[in-house]
Amino acid sequence: MSAPAPLAGIRVVEFTHMVMGPTVGHILAGLGAEVVRIEPIGGDQTRRLIGSGAGYFPMYNRGKQSICLDLKSAAGLGVAKDLVGRADVLVENFRPGALERLGLGYEPCAALNPRLIYCSEKGFLPGPYENRTALDEVAQMMGGLAYMTGPPGRPLRAGASVIDVTGGMFGVIGVLAALEERHRTGKGQKVTASLFETTVYLVGQHMAQYAVTGTPAAPMPARVSAWAIYDVFETKDDPVFIGVVTDALWEKFCKLFALDELWADESLRVNNARVKARDRILPVIRAIIGGMTRAEVIAKLDGTGLPFAPIGKPEEMFDDPHLQHGGLEEVTLDNGTQVRLPTIPLELDGKRIGAPQQLPRPGRDTRAVLAGLGYNEARIAELLASGAAEESQ
């Protein structure tokens, strides 16, 4: 089956780097849009990151075309403006003022193309902080997520670029809403998403908890859970998470693990009473689970409706049997290596998003994109010879 392409015919031009901006383009490309990624001469520095950044480029830049332009040259900037003039969507995530200094801010782009939807992915929405430089980790620290993730007194960022990615997702939501409005008005508009406000939205449940109870939310490792059994349990080999989140599941859990004494205690039949009795309940359950292997626990829980999870590692997801059913797509890296990376987690009309992809080398599509703008061979050759544009070798 061919992958769904609900955004087929939508043209996107992307001025991005790192994770947040590229996430917007990746999702739009996955939904069928034509995404042209403008990179500097020599290619985006994100391609060359090492350590924890080594996966940024291949994860969030699949399904795109790559053109390398020198935006500091008049000719290169002219090409960029021609691309903006024919685009439906522009995506950018550079620091405040960067594109404005090139004449590619919202106002001149909207004057050039009134139907353009201009998506800016920033650190902050308007306010006292709006000109600060932000990163995923900065936002997590400022917005309370790091405080909630680590033990008391030890703020800890989440184990993935959750704010970059979620901020990108909010950008996509804004773009789709703006496209729908354009159907009615014929006009584009500016869409702005941000790291800091995205973080605060995610910790909003803890803010609401404080508003409701008058007690500040404790960091997650020290929290009082809403359920008595909602924790990681050690087995003979590897740990497993188990959650018992309803009174009906408590009955099922007790019968499944022969917890006759606990089930006989009618004072524990209601969730809130079990929460107050955690110190009495949990040692009994930990002893039982600790006497089993992880495989034995999973075999007992699977199919019962009880929430459970082995503690997975990212490298184990390549071989996860569930993800083999459309959750991973073939990607050919710059060096020719073939890997399988996560697809966009959507299904439309019974079909999964995702298809085999080849990661674009810097400037791989320069010549084709220029030809698509109507440039003849002589002009293309001139741009390449002058260094205003570059194609991969």
* pLDDT at 345 (0 to 100): 96
* pLDDT at 223 (0 to 100): 86
- SS3 string, the chain, reads CCCCCCCCCCEEEEECCCCHHHHHHHHHHHCCCEEEEEECCCCCHHHHCCHHHCCHHHHHCCCCEEEEECCCCHHHHHHHHHHHHHCCEEEECCCCCHHHHCCCCHHHHHHHCCCCEEEEEECCCCCCCCCCCCCHHHHHHHHCHHHHHCCCCCCCCCCCCHHHHHHHHHHHHHHHHHHHHHHHHCCCCEEEEEHHHHHHHHCHHHHHHHHHHCCCCCCHHHCCCCCCEEEEECCCCCCEEEEECCHHHHHHHHHHCCCHHHHHCHHHCCHHHHHHCHHHHHHHHHHHHHCCCHHHHHHHHCCCCCCEEECCCHHHHHHCCCCCCCCEEEEECCCCCEEEEECCCCEECCEECCCCEECCCCCCCHHHHHHHCCCCHHHHHHHHHHCCEECCC
Q: At 74, phi and psi to the nearest 5?
A: -60, -40
* pLDDT at 171 (0 to 100): 98
Cβ contact 56:49 at 8 Å: yes
Closest alpha carbon to 14 in 118, 137, 131: 118
Question: What digits encode the pLDDT tens for the residues 50-68?
Answer: 999 999 999 999 999 999 9
List, in order, residues 6 or more apart from 83 with CB less than 8 Å away.
13, 36, 38, 67, 369, 373
Cβ contact 146:157 at 8 Å: yes
Phi-psi bin for 346: left (phi > 0), alpha (psi -120 to 50), beta?
Answer: beta
Query: 11-202+326-390 and 225-313: same fold?
Result: no
Give just the sign of the alpha carbon dihedral 367, 368, 373, 377: positive
* pLDDT at 249 (0 to 100): 97
Model pTM? 0.95
CATH assignment of 225-313?
3.30.1540.10
Domain regions of the chain by residue span: 11-202+326-390, 225-313
Q: Which residues of the chain have pLDDT under 70?
A: 1
* pLDDT at 378 (0 to 100): 98
* pLDDT at 335 (0 to 100): 86
Q: At 194, phi and psi to the nearest 5?
A: -145, 160
Q: Torsion angle, CA of 57/59/60/63, rounded to 10 degrees?
A: 100
Question: What digits encode the pLDDT tens for the residues 129-140?
Answer: 999 999 999 999
Q: How far apart are CA 357 and CA 30, in angstroms?
A: 10
Q: How far apart are CA 203 and CA 225, in angstroms?
A: 16
| Domain over 11-202+326-390 is classified CATH 3.40.50.10540 | yes
Residue pointed to by tokens 């801010």: 105
